[in-house]
Structure 1
Amino acid sequence: MTNLLGTHAIVIGAGIAGLAAAKTLSSYFESVTVLERDAFPERAEPRVGTPHCRQAHVLLRAGLQELLASFPDLENELERAGAVRTRVAVDVLIETPGIDPWPQRDFGFDTLCMTRPLLEFVVRSLTRKQANIALQSQCRVKSLQLAADRRVTGLIYEHSGATRRMSADLVVDASSLGNMTLETLDACGMPRPEETEIGVDIVYGTGRFRIPRDESRGWMGVIHRPAAVSGRGGFVFPCEDESWQVTLNGMHGDGPPDDLPGFVAFAKTFRTSTIYDAVKDAPLLGSIHRFVFPNSRRRRFEALTAFPNGLLPIGDVICRFNPAFGQGMTVAAQEVGVLRQLLDQRVGTPSALDGLAPAFFAGIQNVLAAPWSVAESDFIYEKTRGARPADFVQRMKFSGALQRVAAEDADVHRLLIDVNHLLVPPTVLRDPQIVNKVSARMAAST
């Protein structure tokens, strides 16, 4: 390997962010070790340390494309394992307030629907095939090691009741909570990043249902977006074993019960009967699992004036999003794409890893901007906690009018789909012709 930047890299956490980061790092380091607190299931099963993994997850098209850059066989392997291919804007019916449902239009690309455990299992299996990556389970990281110059040089962890040390040129914190990163900043005498939170207290309930035979059904899945008044929404996605993953959610503590009658009754309160009609007679496979998500959170690492060399946080450590928007895994994959570009640029340069984190924090701001703007749309709910953007009302008016234009104009609809899948930046929707159409629609509604 002629493009090495170091001897050893460690990744804390074996979720999607950690596995994708490990695969990328394997091209720049002699060896990579992934330390995971959980035991690794031998099949596509939930992990104890990811209580949200039973809820419906979405891998947007941009996320799949980024993961394919690291795992070229991923798409084929996912389908082989049971993931279901769906045509975007055709097979998944989308219902939003005022547009129930959206027109079904074929824009020429697909996504894969599957459970989170299936995705993790396949990505983990592909990661294991990389000879210079070692996956170690049931390892609890206790602290990071620091040199006199405040460079991170490795970590201390527990495994099988014993305390162990491991050295590294780079430690990537993909642990979701990010405690190691924050505690290391404390140990270095450096300030922690400021945090911006959007308090939503969203409650999810998810069940797997056997898909009933119904030849008249014109869709494979459903996304029912909530109205501001009710805050209640839901998803139906096809997944492995000829089943649906059905997730219902409510904002600010108003969530579905975990018993089947209560779950179905909750679906009956939606604006449309689409999800209720689908699940009322469908056999439940197993139990309904609930999960509470308190807030979207963004840590402003990019504003720090000092950060330890040898350490790089990634994924949820930096920014986590309301899962209802299905952005988290895709954003993490895109962050790994930024990391890959930075490492490429540093091959052959002296002290190549110095200043990597600040460059990374700056480089991912364009990745975070669009999904964080979507997360801010949760301020449509009166009880949402946090600082509402000054231009929020105008933004929501523009967004509502834009959606109505897109429902009637297939070209605008295609651009909106591309934006929603994080394939292109939202600025494409500021084309003067589109803005004129939206402005006319806003004027007509006043």
Structure 2
Amino acid sequence: MVLGGSIAGLFAARVLADAYDEVQIVDRDTLIDVAGPRRSCPQGKHINGLLARGQQVMEEFYPGITNEIFADGVPTGDLCGNVRWYFNGVRIQQQEAGLTCVSASRPMLEKHIRRRTAALPNVVFVEQHDILGLATTPDKSKVTGARVQARGQKREKVIDADLVIDATGRGSRTPIWLQELGYGLVEEESKKVGLGYVTQHYRLKSDPYHGDLSINPVANATLPRGAIFTKTDGGRVELTAYGILGDHPPTDQQGFYDFVKTLAAPEIHEALMHAEPLDEPVAFRFPTTLRRHYEKLDRFPDGLLVVGDAVTCFNPVYAQGMTVSALSALTIRNHLHSGAAPQPMQYFQDLSKNVIDPPWEMTNTVDLSFPGVEGERPLQMRFAQKFLKLVQYAATKDKAIAAQYMRAAGLIDGPEKMQRPGFMLKVLLKGIFGPAKKTPAPPLVPIAGGHVETWSEYRNAA
């Protein structure tokens, strides 16, 4: 049984369907045939990035799904070759790096993953059910199912299961349930980033992209504001502008435009002045990152695993959550190879070391480059921050360095690829004197008819 029909829950259900006679996905929402944002997924109204490694795993789980998504009007491109990145206010070089972008809105991506999961003959969706707690053996050493309650009914019921997966997100009650069952307190690690962002959708009347897929000015210590301005499904463009440490975009239209005007990519604001808003600006607040260290517990009940945001909530600016959820499902599959239920502590130790540690350390390094973010900055981290800035400087001059940096950011390559002596020397030589000179953004080009319906039409027009 999977608790939660999120993307993390769907990925988990997919791998479990290969090992169990039946997999039940329990969620408080209606899931089947839902096309728009779900009530229990507030981030569904905002940009949700699937990194290149996440796309690879998704395709492995559901062969052919990437092309199915593209055929549904979703734009695509290369994370380095077709995305205009600004770091420290300067645009880096662009080069194809083999990093497939799936520029789908969250509801669109979820729809396709859910449809392919529902097509599995042994997967059952238990919709409109609240999750009340776990069921266990009398000695509380093994979880045997979950207590649930159908919406609108007073009587609860127990659904028995050989294995329960908690995919209920940041609000997961597993730490509370463990304490109630007599297990230890789960150590939590958090960092206050004070992130706030606002999202709005548009139809463009002029083109700022010139063949690119997205324009992404990244926040930095000097200007703690950034944005993702990307083409998405339905012939629309999607803008999420963000600020950290309380410097949040306003939700009134003029205030939002004024905020966007301060970003390092002036072409975004210029394009908005010739765009048709399709909805109102919508805000989201993300005060702290969060990591639950289940791997540090002395003991853990059999028959229970935790995945996705229920384990680790990354700073969403780095778009790592869905990809880590996919890698978490891969980890579950690796622990199912013997045909027996996974051993929880072995799973959590593997998950922590091989899936969560690398991106967590990467984002910690970046988050703590902002002086106002509280946290320890040991010598090793300060060195990593200086080197990262050199990489970003060098990437404004060298396409190969930019591509390698984006491969690391896309979780395709581990950080060790940027620690090779030859690469480090090249970064030092290219980056020691700072970034390249700023170049003006290309001029806006009118779009015939006011907007482009599909990505293929856009490419043909271009």
Partner of 1:164: 157
Other-structure match for 1:130: 120
Which position in structure 2 is the counterpart of 1:426? 415
- Give the letter for the 1:134 counterpart: V
Using a 3 Å threshold, how does the CA distance of structure 1 residues 139 and 301 change in structure 2: closer, same or farther? same
Q: Deviations over 1:337-361 (max 9, x none)?
A: 11111111x22xxxx226x211111
Q: Distance in 1 between matches of 2:218 and 2:224?
A: 9
Question: Residue 333 of structure 1: CA displacement?
Answer: 0.3
Q: Which residue of 1 aligns with 2:385?
A: 396
Residue by residue, what CA displacement relative to the aligned partner does 1:124-177 show, whole Å, maximum 9, x if unpaired? 111110010001211111010111232100110110313111000100000003
Taking the aligned partners of 1:83 and 1:442, their CA distance within structure 2 comes to 36
1:41–1:47 Cα contact (<8 Å) kept: no
Aligned to 1:7: none
**Alignment check: 8 A CA contact 1:144 1:180 kept:** no
Amino acid at match of 2:117: T
Q: Secondary structure at the match of 1:438?
A: helix
- From 129, 141, 146, the equivalent of 1:139 is 129
1:69-109: CA deviation from partner (whole Å, max 9, x where unpaired) = 211131122112221111332222111105x2111222344
The verdict on how the C-alpha distance between 1:135 and 1:217 changes in structure 2, with shifts beyond 3 A counting, is same
- For 1:391 and 1:435, the matched residues in 2 are separated by 16
Which piece of structure 1 moves more, 412-421 or 261-270?
Answer: 412-421
Whole-Å separation in 2 of the counterparts to 1:43 and 1:140: 18
Give the aligned partner of residue 410 of structure 1.
399
> How far apart, CA to CA, are the structure 2 residues paired with 1:318 and 1:215?
39
Quote the RMSD (CA, aligned, Å).
1.9
Are positions 1:208 and 2:201 aligned together? yes
Would the aligned equivalents of 2:92 and 2:397 in 1 still touch at CA under 8 Å?
no
Confirm or deny: 8 A CA contact 1:397 1:442 kept in the other structure. Answer: no
2-side partners of 1:198 and 1:83: how far apart?
A: 34
2:65 is aligned with 1:77: no
Query: 1:303-314 counterparts in 2 under 5 A?
Result: 303-314=296-307
Contact 2:314–2:320 (CA<8 Å) still a contact in 1? yes
Q: Which moved more, 1:30-39 or 1:88-97?
A: 88-97
Q: What is the DSSP-based 3-state SS (H/G/I as helix, E as strand, rest coil) of the residue aligned with 2:197?
A: strand
Change (3 A) 1:75 1:443: closer
Shift in Å, 1:404: 2.2
Contact 1:211 1:242 in 2 (8 A): no
Q: 1:60 aligns with which of 51, 65, 73?
A: 51
Q: Which runs of 5+ in 1 are unaligned?
A: 1-9
Q: Deviations over 1:201-233 (max 9, x none)?
A: 111100011122438835231111012133111
Structure 2 residue aligned with 1:247 = 240
Provide closer, same or farther for how the CA distance between residues 224 and 314 of structure 1 changes in structure 2, counting only shifts above 3 A.
same
Question: In the aligned structure 1, how far is the partner of 2:83 from the partner of 2:265?
Answer: 15
SS at match of 2:361: helix
Indicate the larger mover: 375-384 or 127-136.
375-384
- Residue 369 (structure 1) aligns with: 357
Letter in 2 for 1:116: R
Deviates more, 1:46-55 or 1:167-176: 46-55
Identify the residue that residue 180 of structure 2 maps to in structure 1: 187
TM-score of the superposition, structure 1-length normalised? 0.92
- Superposed displacement of residue 384, structure 1: 1.6
Match of 2:448? Answer: none
Q: Match of 1:236?
A: 229
| 1:15 aligned residue (6, 28, 31) | 6
SS class of match (1:179):
coil
In structure 2, distance between residues paired with 1:421 and 1:26 = 28
Q: CA deviation at 1:266?
A: 0.5
Mean alpha-carbon deviation: is it higher for 235-244 or for 37-46?
37-46
Contact 2:93 2:398 in 1 (8 A): no
Q: Does 1:279 align with 2:269?
A: no
For residues 9-44 of structure 1, the C-alpha deviation after alignment (integer angstroms, 9 at most, x for no partner) is: x00011111001001101101000000111226342
Residue 178 of structure 1: CA displacement? 5.2
Cα 1:282/1:444, change in 2 over 3 Å: closer
Q: Which amino acid aligns with 1:31?
A: E
For 2:317 and 2:279, the matched residues in 1 are separated by: 23
Give the structure-2-normalised TM-score.
Answer: 0.89
The amino acid across from 1:359 in the alignment is Q
Range that drifts further, 112-121 or 87-96: 87-96
Residue 143 of structure 1 aligns to a residue in which SS? strand
What secondary structure, in the 3-state scheme, does the structure 1 residue paired with 2:287 have? strand
Q: Which amino acid aligns with 1:135?
A: F
CA deviation after TM superposition for structure 1 residue 409, in Å: 3.1
Gaps of 5+ in 2: 435-462
CA distance in 2, matches of 1:444, 1:266: 31
Query: Percent identity over the alignment?
Result: 29
Deviation (angstroms), 1:375: 2.0
Distance in 2 (alpha carbons) for counterparts of 1:167 and 1:389: 48
Q: Is the 8 A contact 1:33 1:135 kept in 2?
A: yes
Q: Which has the higher contact order (CA 8 A, sep 6+)?
A: 2
